[in-house]
Amino acid sequence: MITVLLVALGAAIGAPLRYLTDRAVQARHDSVFPWGTFTVNVCGSLVLGFLTALPTSPSVTALLGTGFCGALTTYSTFSFETLRLVQQGARFYALVNVIASVVAGLGAAAIGLLLAQAVD
Amino acid sequence: MTEQDAVPTDSDVDLHVPAMRSEPRVPVLAAISAGGIAGALARYGLATAWPHPPDGFPWSTFVINVTGCFLIGVLMVIVTEVVTHKPLLRPFLGVGVLGGYTTFSTYIVDIQRAAGEGAALPALSYLALTLVGALLAVYAGTVLTRAAVRR
């Protein structure tokens, strides 16, 4: 039961933080490329990569991993943006979005893992 | 207003769309937060009911991400073409529920873990199948919903 509450609490913060980060990034960086979603997805992958590599308790995993990182990052917005870029004729940006998100996400998770090994 | 202006590229928030620039902050943030809780709990429930070994194929997250992408396709047609005067609908269902339900971080870390376990084939097939499945799903959701509402 407490685990469910921790997931809910993490998500209650993670989801609006994605929206606010996305807004802030777009306000500072006007571009066809969806930098806002890219930013939250890469940051969330870094944090989850770090957490997963640490011997964390189930409570911390529920709050920060499943709740916060899960709600901070999004696959639905990432896919929708990629489809919209294709429909707008920006096929190059769509392809770059897919490749850059996956490569940067994996790189960020690897950095998270290395950081965890350094502090553990 | 042309279709290009009405339909955002970023379904969470797109400052190129005039209506999204001046969203009332507190009710919108509350709707996103409440939706995020619902979506994350649905994801948690599915992932708990359907666990996978570190070197196996993460079916629960795969199904979560592909169904969430189908539903964002459905939702975005509805909020841009059918129910256009409910300003909290997209923040609650799109940014909140579907954003909280789908996850990019778990997708990435599951690939990393499977690769770390030496399970290169499950890792690569999961990476590619989710990408293809998610993009086909969002396209299908959009096309099917548009066909249904224009009938």
At residue A2, the pLDDT reads 93
The first and second tokens of residue B145, run together, are 């919903």
CA distances from A4 to A9, A11, B41 (A): 9, 11, 7
Q: Is A104 on the interface with B (CB under 8 A)?
A: no
Closest CA relative to residue A17, chosen from A1, A33, A35, A40: A40
Whether the per-residue pLDDT at B3 is higher than 80: the answer is no
C-beta atoms of B112 and A113 within 8 A: yes
B69 and B9 Cβ atoms separated by less than 8 Å: no
Average pLDDT value for chain B: 92
Query: Which chain A residues contact residue B87 at CB under 8 A?
Result: none
Q: Is B70 on the interface with A (CB under 8 A)?
A: no
B25 or A62: which leads in pLDDT: A62
Whether the per-residue pLDDT at B4 is higher than 70: the answer is no
At residue A13, the pLDDT reads 98
The three-state secondary structure class of B50 is coil
The span from the CA of B40 to the CA of B93, in Å, is: 12
C-beta atoms of A18 and B99 within 8 A: yes
The span from the CA of B148 to the CA of A38, in Å, is: 32
Nearest CA in chain B to A79: B135
- Percentage of residues in chain B with pLDDT exceeding 70? 95
At residue A1, the pLDDT reads 80
Whether the per-residue pLDDT at B144 is higher than 50: the answer is yes
The first and second tokens of residue B1, run together, are 């207003």
At residue A89, the pLDDT reads 94
The structure's pTM equals 0.94
**Complex prediction ipTM:** 0.96
At residue A17, the pLDDT reads 97
At residue A118, the pLDDT reads 94
The first and second tokens of residue B43, run together, are 């994801």
At residue B5, the pLDDT reads 55
At residue B13, the pLDDT reads 92
